[in-house]
A = this chain, B = another copy of it.
Amino acid sequence: MSRQRIRDIRHDELIDATIKAVHKHGYAAVTMTEIAREAGATAASINYYFGSKERLLGATMQHLLSLLRAAVLRRVAMAATPHERLMALLEANFDDSVYTTEQCSLWVQFWGSAPYVKSLARLHNINRQRVTSNFRAELRALLPEDRRETVREALQSYMDGVWLEATHSSQPLDAAAARDEARRVAQLLLDSEV
Contact = CB atoms under 8 A, between A and B. Distances in A.
A188 B185 contact: no
Interface stretch (A8-16, A40-48, A81-89, A150-158): A150-158
Interface in A93-133: 105, 108-109, 111-116, 124-125, 128
Interface string A145-176: 00100110110111111101101100000000
A114 B28 CA distance: 12
Contacts of A164: 111, 157, 160-161, 164
A7 interface: no
B158 A116 contact: no
B181 A153 contact: yes
A27 B26 contact: no
B181 A187 contact: no
Interface residues of A, number: 43
Contacts of A53: none
Contacts of A150: 181, 184-185, 188
A111 B114 contact: no
A114 B157 CA distance: 20
Contacts of A191: 192-194
17 contacts: A26-B116, A27-B28, A28-B116, A105-B115, A111-B167, A112-B112, A114-B168, A125-B168, A147-B188, A153-B165, A156-B161, A159-B161, A160-B160, A160-B165, A161-B164, A188-B188, A192-B192
